[in-house]
Amino acid sequence: MEQEWVIIAWFTDDVRSQIAVDRLLVNGIEAVAVDKRDSNYKWGEIQLYVHRDNVIIAKEIIKDL
């Protein structure tokens, strides 16, 4: 991942992470969810990245998730 992208949230569940990505995309903010969980046990986290210029507005959009 480029240095221009920052993690703004962590999720443990697929559905919540996908909802966050979708909300951001609908609002014109590029977002990427990177699944860092163990593939066998699904233990770990899903990291949500956005471009550093969009951090504040992106956090505001997903704050209620």
CATH number, position 53: 3.30.70
Q: CA 2, CA 8: separation in Å to the nearest integer?
A: 15
How many angstroms separate the first and last alpha carbons of the chain?
A: 24
Question: What pLDDT, on a 0 to 100 scale, did the predictor assign at position 61?
Answer: 97
Expressed as residue numbers, the domain containing 57 is: 5-62
Domain count along the chain? 1
Instruction: Give the amino acid at 28.
Output: G
Per-residue pLDDT of the chain (65 residues; tens, 9 = 90+): 567 999 999 999 899 999 999 999 999 999 999 999 887 877 889 999 999 999 999 999 999 98
Give Cα separations from 64 to 29, 39, 54 (angstroms).
17, 28, 17
